[in-house]
Structure 1
Amino acid sequence: MSDSIVIAHGGDLSHQSGGTNRVSAFASGLAAKGHDVTLVAPEPDGTLPDRLEALDTSFVSVPNSGVVDQPIRAAAIARRARSQANDSGGTVQFEHSTLGGVGQFFGEREYVLDMHDLAFASPLYGDLPLGSAVQRVIRGIEGRAVRSASAIVVVSENMRRLVREEWDLPAEKIRVIPNGYFADTVRPYRADETVSGRVTFLGTLHPKLDTTAIYEIAALPEVEEMVVIGSGAKEEELRDGKEERGLDALRIEGHLPDDEAFRLLSRSAVAINPQHRSSLQRASSPVKIYYYAALGLPMVLSAGPSVAAKLDDEGAAKTVQSDGSFVTAVQNVLSDETQRSEMRATAERLADEFSWSHRVASLSEVYESV
Structure 2
Amino acid sequence: MPYVTVLDMQPIDPPTGGGRLRLLGLYHNLNKDLPTTYIGTYDWPGPGYRHHKLSPTLEEIDIPLSKEHFELHEKWKAKVGGKTIIDVAFPQMAYLSPNYVKFAIKATKEADIVIFSHPWIYPLVKDYIDWKNQLVVYDSHNCEGLLRYELLNDGKFGTELVRKVIELEYELCHRADLILTCSHEDRIMFNDLYNIAFKKMIVIPNGVFVTRIQPTQKDVREKIKQKLGLRGKVAIFLGSQYQPNIEAALFICDYLALAISNVTFLICGGVSNAIDYKYLQKKGIKNVKLTGFITEEEKLYYLQASDIAINPMFSGSGTNIKMFEFMAAGLPTVTTEIGARGIFKEINAFKVCSKENFADAILEILNDHEMWEKYSYRARCLVTEKYSWERISPFLGKVLLRNLEGKRKGRPYFSIIVPTYERHHHLSNLIKKLTEQTFKDFEVIIVDQSKSYWKVPNIAKDLSVYYYHTDIKGAVKARNIGLALALGDVIAFTDDDCEPYPDWLENAYKYFKEKDIIGIEGLIKSDNISDNFRCVCNERFEGIGFMTANLFTLREMANRVNGFDETFDNPHFREDTDFAWRLLNYGKIPYARDVVVYHPPHPRNIKRESLEERLKFFEKDALLAKKHPELFIVLFKREAHYIKTPGYWENFLRGCLKYNCAWILERLRLHGINWEKYVQK
Does the Cα contact within 8 Å between 2:336 and 2:354 map onto a contact in 1? yes
Change (3 A) 1:227 1:152: same
> Equivalents in 1 of 2:362, 2:342: separation in Å?
15
1:197 & 1:91 partners in 2: Cα distance? 48
Whole-angstrom distance in 1 between the partners of 2:154 and 2:12: 26
Does 1:51 pair with 2:79? no
1:22 aligns with 2:48: no
Instruction: Tell me, yes or no, if structure 1 residue 304 matches structure 2 residue 324.
Output: no
Question: What SS is found at the alignment partner of 1:321?
Answer: coil
Distance 1:243 1:254, change over 3 A: same
The structure that has the greater radius of gyration is 2
CA distance in 2, matches of 1:306, 1:236: 23
| 1:50-72 Cα shifts (integer Å, max 9, x gaps) | 73587444332314865246233
C-alpha distance in structure 1 between counterparts of 2:25 and 2:257, whole Å: 34
Asked if 1:360 corresponds to 2:409, the answer is no
Aligned match of 1:208 in 233, 238, 244?
244
Note if contact 1:13-1:48 (Cα within 8 Å) is conserved in structure 2: no
Aligned to 2:353: 320
Deviations 1:79-130 (A, max 9, x none): 53332232x3522111012333444366564411100012222244335942
Q: Secondary structure of 2:212's match?
A: helix
Aligned to 2:138, the other structure's residue is in SS state: strand
Alpha-carbon separation, structure 1, partners of 2:137 and 2:9: 15
**Deviation, structure 1 residue 11:** 0.8
The aligned counterpart of 1:193 is 221
Deviation at 1:332, TM superposition (A): 2.4
Partner residue in 2 for 1:67: 85
Name the SS of the counterpart of 1:45 in structure 2. coil
Which letter maps to 1:12?
P
Q: 2 CA distance for matches of 1:297 and 1:42? A: 35
TM-score under structure 2 length normalisation:
0.49
Q: How many Å apart are 1:159 and its aligned residue?
A: 0.5
Alpha-carbon separation, structure 1, partners of 2:277 and 2:123: 39
44-53 or 355-364: bigger deviation: 44-53
Alignment of 1:128-139 (within 5 A): 129-139=156-166
* Alpha-carbon distance, 1:33 to partner: 3.0
| Higher deviation after alignment, 48-57 or 256-265 | 48-57
Q: Does 1:250 align with 2:275?
A: no
Compared with structure 1, are the counterparts of its residues 34 and 251 closer, same or farther at alpha carbon in structure 2 (3 Å cutoff)?
Answer: same
Measured after TM superposition, the shift of residue 162 of structure 1 is 0.4
The CA deviation string for residues 232-269 of structure 1, in whole angstroms up to 9 with x for no partner, is 4x633353431221211110011122222212212322
* Equivalences, count: 359
Does the C-alpha gap of structure 1 residues 89 and 7 become closer, same or farther in structure 2, counting only changes over 3 Å? closer
**Is the deviation greater in 268-277 or in 170-179?**
268-277
1:336 equivalent in alignment to 2:341: no
SS at match of 2:286: coil
| DSSP 3-state at the match of 1:275 | coil
Contact 2:249 2:267 (8 Å CA) reproduced: no
Matched to 1:349, the amino acid is C
Counterpart for residue 100 of structure 1: 122
Match of 2:297 in 1: 259
Alignment equivalent of 2:108, drawn from 85, 93, 105: 85
Letter in 2 for 1:136: R
Partner of 1:288: 322
Is the CA contact 2:8–2:120 (under 8 Å) kept in the aligned structure 1? no
Tell me, in whole angstroms, the C-alpha distance in 1 between the residues paired with 2:51 and 2:129.
30
1:230 touches 1:256 (CA, 8 Å); kept in 2?
yes
Tell me the secondary structure at the aligned position of residue 144 of structure 1: helix
Deviation per residue, 1:19-48 (Å, 9 max, x gap): 111112223212x53212111111583999
- What displacement does 1:298 show? 0.6
2:184–2:342 Cα contact (<8 Å) kept: no
Give the C-alpha shift of residue 158 in structure 1: 0.5
Task: For structure 2, list consecutive stretches of 5 or more residues without a partner in the other structure.
Answer: 71-83, 226-231, 404-681
Asked if 1:120 is matched to 2:145, the reply is yes
Secondary structure of 2:5's counterpart equals: strand
RMSD, aligned CA = 2.9
CA distance in 2, matches of 1:231, 1:139: 28
Match of 1:224 in 2: 263
User: Structure 2 CA distance, aligned partners of 1:190 and 1:94?
Assistant: 37
Matched AA of 2:221 = E
Q: State how far apart, in whole Å, the 1-side matches of 2:53 and 2:365 are.
A: 37
Q: Measure, in 2, the Cα distance between the counterparts of 1:218 and 1:205.
A: 20
Deviations 1:331-358 (A, max 9, x none): 3222222211211111122121211022
Q: Distance in 1 between matches of 2:258 and 2:373?
A: 24
Residues 231 and 255, structure 1, Cα contact 8 Å, conserved in 2: yes
Cα drift, residue 161 of structure 1: 0.5
Match of 1:177 among 184, 188, 204: 204
Q: How far apart, CA to CA, are the structure 2 residues paired with 1:98 and 1:167?
A: 17
Give the distance between the partners of 1:119 and 1:268, measured in 2 at CA: 33
SS at match of 2:371: helix
Task: Describe the superposition over 1:190-215 as per-residue Cα deviations: whole angstroms up to 9, x where unpaired.
Answer: 33436641111122242113234312
What TM-score do the two structures reach when normalised by structure 1? 0.86
Please, which of 172, 190, 211 is the counterpart of residue 145 of structure 1? 172
Matches of 1:52 and 1:240, distance apart in 2: 43
Do 2:52 and 2:61's aligned partners in 1 also have CA atoms closer than 8 Å?
Answer: no
The letter for the 2-side match of 1:199 is: A
1:128 and 1:17 map into 2 onto residues whose CA distance is 29
Q: Deviations over 1:262-293 (max 9, x none)?
A: 1221232210111124xxx3x42111100111
Q: Is the 8 A contact 1:13 1:20 kept in 2?
A: yes
Determine which of 96, 111, 130 is the counterpart of 2:136: 111
Determine the C-alpha separation between the residues in 1 that align with 2:18 and 2:41: 17
**Cα-to-partner distance string for 1:287-328 (whole Å, 9 max, x where unaligned):** 1100111111011001125557634x3222111235x33223
Query: Percent same amino acid among aligned pairs?
Result: 18
Kept after mapping to 1: 8 A contact 2:138/2:176 = yes
The 1:89/1:350 distance shift into structure 2, 3 A limit, reads: closer
Q: CA, structure 1 residues 351+45, in 2 after alignment: closer, same or farther (shift >3 Å)?
A: same
Unaligned runs of 5+ in 1: none
